Amino acid sequence: MMTKSNVEFLREAIKNCKRVAVVSHKSPDGDNLGSLLAMALSLEKMGKDVVYVKADIIPEDYEFLPGIEKLETIDDSIDEIDLLMVLDSSDEDRLGENKFLLEKSKIIANIDHHVSNTQFGDINIVLPDLSSTGEILFNILVELEMPIDNIIASLIYVAMSTDTGRFTYQGVTGSTHETVAKLYDYGIDSYSINRSLYQRRSLARTKLFVKAVSQIVFYNNNKIGVVKVSKKMLDETETSMDDTDGIVEFIRDTESVEAACLLKEINESIIKISLRTKNEVDANKVCQAFSGGGHNRASGATVEDSLDNAEKRLVAEINKYL
Ligand code: 5GP
Ligand code: MN
């Protein structure tokens, strides 16, 4: 909760820290990167020594984000950190190889909006009712009177737009739009940001999309739609797993579909699941059955199995709710 005490603890922690690291989760998305860069740039403007921690390969989509070049891969030889800000990450495992940072940091601030968040921080600002970590962050920056400029506001817009499906998801409220309206006060150019975000798909990605989606299968009266992306498909289209963005949303947008599943073959025995649901299925519950999690309408998990077996297990789990 954004309780007075949590926000005040964060204010104190920021005031007293010299060296702060900002990190988010592996397989970074727009909310994750936009929030991370916005917070890190604001802290830097306050004169803090900021480590921008790179959690994973940056998808091409987000290479245009201002400050992205500051992200660095770190290892456990890094000096002690006064304050670690973990953004948009529901649990410690989401940090992947950067999990060691939790031991290296005197204070951990956990700022997130996942319903499955485990409250692993010393300071926890977890607001599942807010659309995105970006929206939480804007409130924090305002509340703590931290610097916000055009670039920071643009990054928050990226976080909010990408995590709300361009402002269409259930978590979007009047206050989401009020926050966006305030971003315009900093002179953001939403048309230009939207073109950078949504109108730059590579031809290779379009070809992967067509190939993958052409093999869609439906189960349970077309209520479950599944697309599997094999390594072979990536080779044939000269793409990578990052290029699967947008496929699961496309499946979901079919009228009959209640649960949209994308299964990504990381290797022969590791499959990454992306799940999107409408009304009848709690995506977070389904993914928790596979040790994953996320939100009620959008969740993920990783399973150790073959592509076909993972599909069978996932469909069986979803069928429990349909
Ligand atoms: P995506 O399907 O886009 O990878 O992720 C959808 C949502 O589920 C995101 O909010 C993401 O943070 C969360 N998520 C994805 N994979 C995992 C996972 O393996 N574990 C947990 N706890 N959350 C995940
Ligand atoms: Mn998010």
pLDDT digits (tens, 9 = 90+) for 233-288: 999 999 999 999 999 999 999 999 999 999 999 999 999 999 999 999 999 999 99
- Which domains are present in the chain? 4-198 (3.90.1640.10), 203-319 (3.10.310.30)
Atom of ligand 1 nearest to the CA of 91: 22
Copy the structure tokens of residue 76: 């456990």
Distance CA 312, CA 322 (A): 15
Read off the pLDDT of each residue in 208-236 and give the average, rounded to a whole number: 98
Contact between residue 22 and residue 36 where contact means Cβ atoms under 8 Å apart = yes
How far apart are the CA of 5 and the centre of ligand 1, in A?
Answer: 29
Q: What confidence score (pLDDT) does residue 158 get?
A: 98
Strand partners, 273: 263, 301
Residue nearest to atom 7 of ligand 1 (CA): 299
* Test site for ligand 1: of 90, 110, 248, 266, most ligand atoms within 8 A of the Cβ: 90
pLDDT band at 2 (very low <50, low <70, confident <90, very high): low
Residues whose Cβ atom is located within 5 A of ion ligand 2: 31, 88, 133, 163
Read off the pLDDT of each residue in 177-184 and give the average, rounded to a whole number: 98
Distance CA 32, CA 25 (A): 7
Percent of the chain whose predicted confidence (pLDDT) is above 70: 99
Q: Say how far residue 276 (Cα) sits from the centre of its chain.
A: 14
Distance CA 215, CA 154 (A): 37
Distance CA 244, CA 264 (A): 8
* Test site for ligand 1: of 94, 118, 126, most ligand atoms within 8 A of the Cβ: 94
Pocket of ligand 1 (CB under 6 A): 25, 27, 29, 90-91, 94, 114, 116, 274, 292-295, 298-302
How far apart are the CA of 24 and the centre of ligand 1, in A?
Answer: 12
Distance CA 136, CA 133 (A): 5
pLDDT band at 198 (very low <50, low <70, confident <90, very high): very high
Can you tell me which residue has the tokens 């410690």? 92
Atom of ligand 1 nearest to the CA of 302: 19
Convert 112-125 to b/e letters by CB count within 10 Å (16 or more is b): bbbbbbbebbbbbb
pLDDT band at 18 (very low <50, low <70, confident <90, very high): very high
Q: What confidence score (pLDDT) does residue 4 get?
A: 67
Q: What confidence score (pLDDT) does residue 170 get?
A: 85
Q: What confidence score (pLDDT) does residue 3 get?
A: 67
How far apart are the CA of 294 and the centre of ligand 1, in A?
Answer: 5
Atom of ligand 1 nearest to the CA of 299: 8
- Sequence-distant (6+) residues with CB within 8 A of 114 are 88, 89, 90, 126, 128, 293, 294, 295
Atom of ligand 1 nearest to the CA of 90: 22
Residue nearest to atom 6 of ligand 1 (CA): 299
Residue nearest to atom 10 of ligand 1 (CA): 294
Contact between residue 318 and residue 261 where contact means Cβ atoms under 8 Å apart = yes
pLDDT at 202 over 90: yes
Residue nearest to atom 13 of ligand 1 (CA): 294
pLDDT band at 60 (very low <50, low <70, confident <90, very high): confident
- 298 sits in which H/E element: strand 298-304
Residue nearest to atom 22 of ligand 1 (CA): 293
How far apart are the CA of 132 and the centre of ligand 2, in A?
Answer: 5
**Residue 35's CB: how many other CB atoms inside 10 A?**
31
How far apart are the CA of 232 and the centre of ligand 2, in A?
Answer: 30
State pLDDT tens for residues 155-176: 999 999 999 999 999 889 999 9
